[in-house]
Amino acid sequence: MGFAPLTVLLACSAFVAPVRGEEPHPFSVDDMLAMRRIGEPALSPDGQWIVFSLRTTDLEANKGRLDLWLVSRDGKTLRRLTTHDAADSAPKFARDGKSVFFLSTRSGSQQLWRIALDGGEPRQVTDLPLDVGAYVPFGDDKRFALALDVFPDAKTLAETAERDAKAEKSKLKARVYDELMFRHWDSWEDHKRSHVFVWTDGGGAPLDLMKGLDADAPMPPFGGSEQIAVSPDGSTVVFVSKNVGREAAWSTNLDLWVAPSDGSAAPRCLTEANAAQDDAPTFSPDGKWLAYLAMSKPGFEADRQRVMLRDWKSGALSELAPTWDRSPSELAWSRDGRYLLATADDVGNHALFALEVATDNAEKGVRGTVHRLVAKGTCASPLSSDAGVVYLRDTLTSPAELEWLPSYTSTPQPITHVNAERLAATKLGAFEQFSFKGWNDETVWAFLVKPIDFDASKKYPVAYLIHGGPQGSFGDHFHYRWNPQFYAGAGYAAVMVDFHGSTGYGQAFSDAISGDWGGKPYEDLMKGLDAALAKYSFLDGSRCAALGASYGGYMINWLAGHTDRFKAFVCHSGNLDERLAYYDTEELWFPEWDHGGLPWEKPDGYTKHNPIDFVQNWKTPTLVTHGELDFRVVYTQGLSTFTALQRKGVPSKLVVFPDENHWILKPQNSKFWHETVIAWLDRWCKP
């Protein structure tokens, strides 16, 4: 990492134009959709340049567009690298530092491309018959580890492509299965597997490192290049894979596998002893260590992710910072190999940390010492150079921007300001974090976002937002589906409580929700609303609406049967019947863990807090929304909720999106969803 203090010259990026004299307007869904979204940063070998993908929304075309941009670390120079009506993503610097590899759909399928930083047209690198799902360069600018979806019994990539084309043309559209899982998230299983290949530019067909292995390597959107690691000397590839078979639907057992990059030996499992999840492998710069994340409880997807270190020569395994009660979501090595950078939920934030790996760093601490580098906001994608750390950070009042941390004791410095003009044109609500005593008199944290044009002498309606997961968090984060600024812009005060079960407060706090979905969280939510009303006199307790999705949608249905203090509800993708939901969903490990077992063996876990058993108490006006492609919380649960409301005569509305999954993502659908939600709240909560 280096962490050498540097003099920083700050400048607004070229995105920022002088703000015109128009009066700022209330933040709306149109403003949210108009925000430019930075992602996938990559740092040049000399640490002076960052290339990143930038998503802009084309509302008329009803899609997002991805282009690549290049910015100097001081923010003074910014320019677009690619311009094409295609998705250009996943940039990675070449070893020479003068060009960038990236994935693009500009040739019709998704292939690997390369573009020089000094201009010119990009060059297509791969021309394979299948999409490249993810890639990792070997560092010699010639070899790459590629993730490709193949039929495991196909002899060539062309055979997989031919079978796909034949199925597409066939008039027979029957889907046939003899094991779980037969569908996942929003797609039906097509009997293909994601395999890791090694491909050499100019060297012929890719080499399948998983040939004969009935396993699946995670692919986007559930995994990608962070699940593949190439050793610094290029001799070895480590990848994450899950055994495919009848246990796939109820097992969380991801394993690390290792294979020689020349295919001279079959892949070998490194983590067979751990029946829980192992993922995110990354080699230290000198190749001495393999770091990765590991859970310890099989079947539990929200267990604490531990940071593991494997001595690559001896195979000795140890846990780094074993007493650190946080669950990191990503790892990256410092350039000098002395630290592991990690991001993790942390008391309403997603903070950036550095964990000491070196054992001879007496000045700063012992091995495993954890340094919190950036405490506030939501940090992601840390990258290290000799000049410090570059990372993304967003907050409740700003989308993600690139920042630079010259040393682990310095103040973050901004690099980009891609949304400055757009933000300046809007009115945003000020926010603050507060705490109260929840279940068992334990401290629970929450956020409040004030309405725009705030006047302390007025009373404001409340939008009470309930997060999903349930092991999740509504924190200091610029959300693109549940953004509290949208409600603040419409004249509401938004309140978000991180009830028991939320992440970032220690594993025991997160574990507390398992087997108690309607207990501790419900008590926290009721006490949290009481605390907010007592603390903030401008909140109107007679005009509160509660909104939630996924587990938050379940909680809306639970609230409907247990309280009449809300004027309106919005239930998105929420379960009504936990018993039937088990048989409908695809990831069975989730209900089996959180409800204590199989429903025919442990029925009490599914009936203890089941909203359907309290429909007789429903009376609150409710908007129900769902996506038909939601295989996690199947849309029939939303239909059932609406049926119950209508049959009871409760004012209600149903909105179903045929082309959406668990989330409402398409721009036109998102706009309609937000406008429908705010119209529903206004109908019941505005004077």
Q: Give the active site residue among 195, 417, 609, 662.
A: 662
The yes-or-no verdict on residue 10 having pLDDT over 90 is: no
Active site residue 336: no
Using pLDDT thresholds of 50, 70 and 90, give the confidence band for residue 12. Answer: very low
Residue 11 lies in a domain: no
The answer to the question of residue 573 being in a domain is: yes
Catalytic residue among 231, 550, 640, 670: 550
Let me know if residue 26 belongs to a domain: no
Q: In which domain, by residue range, is 651 found?
A: 426-685
The model's pLDDT over 359-376, given as tens digits with 9 standing for 90+, comes to 665 455 678 999 999 999
Q: Among 421, 448, 472, give the residue marking a domain's end.
A: 421
Model confidence pLDDT, tens digit, residues 100-126: 999 999 999 999 999 999 978 999 999
Q: Is 550 a catalytic residue?
A: yes
Is 233 domain-assigned?
A: yes
Residues 536 and 654 in one domain: yes
Answer yes or no: is pLDDT of 1 > 50.
no
Domain match, 453 and 514 both: yes
Q: Is the dihedral of CA 625, 627, 630, 634 positive or negative?
A: positive
Task: Give the 3-state secondary structure of residue 405.
Answer: strand
- 658 and 566 in one domain? yes
Output the pLDDT for position 3: 30
In this prediction, residue 222 carries a pLDDT of 66
CA angle 39, 336, 115 (to 5 degrees): 40
The residue assigned the tokens 């070899």 is: 143
The angle subtended at Cα 117 by Cα 111 and Cα 123, nearest 5°, is 30
Indicate if 220 and 314 belong to the same structural domain: yes
Strands (E), 94-191: 99-104, 111-116, 123-124, 134-137, 143-150, 183-184, 187-188
pLDDT at 18 over 90: no
Q: For the domain that residue 464 is a member of, what is the CATH number?
A: 3.40.50.1820
Q: Out of 421, 446, 479, pick the residue that ends a domain.
A: 421
The C-alpha R_g of the chain, in whole angstroms, comes to 25
As for how many domains the chain has, the answer is 4
Is residue 16 domain-resident? Answer: no
Identify whether residues 406 and 309 lie together within a single domain.
no
| Residues 440, 405 share a domain | no
The answer to whether residues 124 and 111 touch, using CB atoms and an 8 Å cutoff, is: yes
* Residue 461 sits in the same domain as residue 414: no
Domain end point (choices 293, 320, 347): 320
If phi > 0 it is left, if psi is from -120 to 50 it is alpha, else beta; for residue 381 that is: left
Residue 601: CB partners within 8 Å, gap ≥ 6? none
In the predicted model, is pLDDT for residue 16 greater than 70? no
In tens, the pLDDT along 497-534 reads 999 999 999 999 999 999 999 999 999 999 999 999 99
Mark whether 569 and 672 lie in a shared domain.
Answer: yes
Same domain? 296 vs 261: yes
**Is 174 part of any domain?**
no
In a domain, 6, yes or no: no
- Indicate if 246 and 354 belong to the same structural domain: no
| CATH number of the domain where residue 249 is located | 2.130.10.10
**Are 230 and 336 members of one domain?**
no
State the catalytic residue, choosing from 630, 640, 652, 674.
Answer: 630
| SS3 sequence of 406-446 | CCCCCCCEECCCCCHHHHHCEECCCEEEEEEECHHHCEEEE
For tokens 């409710």, name the residue.
622
Write phi, then psi, for 468 (nearest 5 degrees). Answer: -95, -165
In DSSP notation, 542-556 reads EEEEEEEETHHHHHH
Indicate whether 568 and 654 sit together in one domain.
Answer: yes
Asked, for residue 1, whether it belongs to a domain, the answer is no
573 as an active site residue: the answer is: no
